[in-house]
Structure 1
Amino acid sequence: MTQSERPRHSVSVAAVVTDEQSRVLVVQRRDTGKWEIPGGILELNESVHAGVRREVEEETGVTIEPERLTGVYKNLRLGVVALVFRARVTSGTPGPTEESAAIDWWTSDEVTEQMSETFAVRVLDALDTVDVAIRLHNGVSLLTEEIAPEVLGD
């Protein structure tokens, strides 16, 4: 198998942006209606930090500064690796954009209750840990290293 024939990963970037009350900036996606943290696919020609800044601005209208990497999450079904950062707003006021139907600030309890497990864990990891979390999922549920091959049929 040549290099060009091998399956490739996609890399996404996202930010857990918090305010003074430790609430998290969330967006309601226009395409799916789901509530998530702002983020998206990293472009080939941009740095990781530039990508997360661009994605947050496109989805919320605010400029942010990434502070630290908080987690690496791999969707085994889609081959997407997500890099999640804690970030703070440096300018602007959040509001809906072409990519987001609504913007809100949620508590960690609201995140747990209203987001899917694979997105809520990214927020909780960013809020609760000082270490970088590394997790696997299938797009719906978190997986362990031991069961991942079974899920993929390896």
Structure 2
Amino acid sequence: MTAPNRHSVSVAAVITDERDRVLVVQRRDNGKWEIPGGVLELHESIHDGVRREVEEETGVLIEPERLTGVYKNLKIGVVALVFRARIIGGQPGPTEESQRVDWWTRDAVVAQMAETFAVRVTDALDTDQPAIRVHDGVHVLAEQSPVP
């Protein structure tokens, strides 16, 4: 008997400064640049999870302001919830999870971040409505409607 299919849920935040730069982290585990975020734990609320993940990766305290996108990795079954957020305390810096923390312009994000993560930033900056997207872990895909 096979186990039922299941999804994992992750949370992340797009945080900007007064010059409209985006807070990004370079992960210690794979060296990739991303917005701060990670896996939502079973016992925590969605907002508490994004607060925890951002603090673990940047050292700052944030307040989530609005949902900006929902992204599903079809290859590994992860659904990511991305929020705009603002810093309410602390100073960004490296942590046990992030080897570097930096502020990037939108152009730097698009040029240097993987497509599936850059789109989360551009969606958060470009619209007031949450985006809903699917991807294969590398590229954003056009969502196909099921055939009846």
Normalising to structure 1: TM-score of the pair?
0.92
> Who is 2:118 aligned against?
120
> Who is 1:42 aligned against?
40
3-state DSSP of counterpart to 1:68: strand
Normalising to structure 2: TM-score of the pair?
0.96
Are residue 98 (structure 1) and residue 96 (structure 2) matched?
yes
3-state DSSP of counterpart to 1:98: coil
Q: Distance in 2 between matches of 1:130 and 1:59?
A: 26
Are residue 63 (structure 1) and residue 61 (structure 2) matched?
yes
Deviation at 1:28, TM superposition (A): 0.2
Deviation at 1:60, TM superposition (A): 0.2
> Who is 2:12 aligned against?
14
RMSD (CA atoms): 1.4
Tell me which stretches of 4 or more aligned residues in structure 1 moved more than 2 Å: none
Deviation at 1:19, TM superposition (A): 0.6
Q: Distance in 2 between matches of 1:125 and 1:6?
A: 32
List alignment gaps of at least 5 residues for structure 2: none
Query: Residue 83 of structure 1: which of 69, 81, 84 is its match?
Result: 81
List alignment gaps of at least 5 residues for structure 1: 150-154
Aligned residues: 146
Query: Residue 127 of structure 2: which of 126, 129, 132 is its match?
Result: 129
Deviation at 1:106, TM superposition (A): 0.4
> Who is 2:23 aligned against?
25
3-state DSSP of counterpart to 1:11: strand
- Per-residue CA deviations over 1:65-115 (Å, capped at 9, x if unaligned) read 000000000000000000000000000000000000000000000000000
Q: Distance in 2 between matches of 1:123 and 1:91?
A: 22
Q: Distance in 2 between matches of 1:119 and 1:145?
A: 17
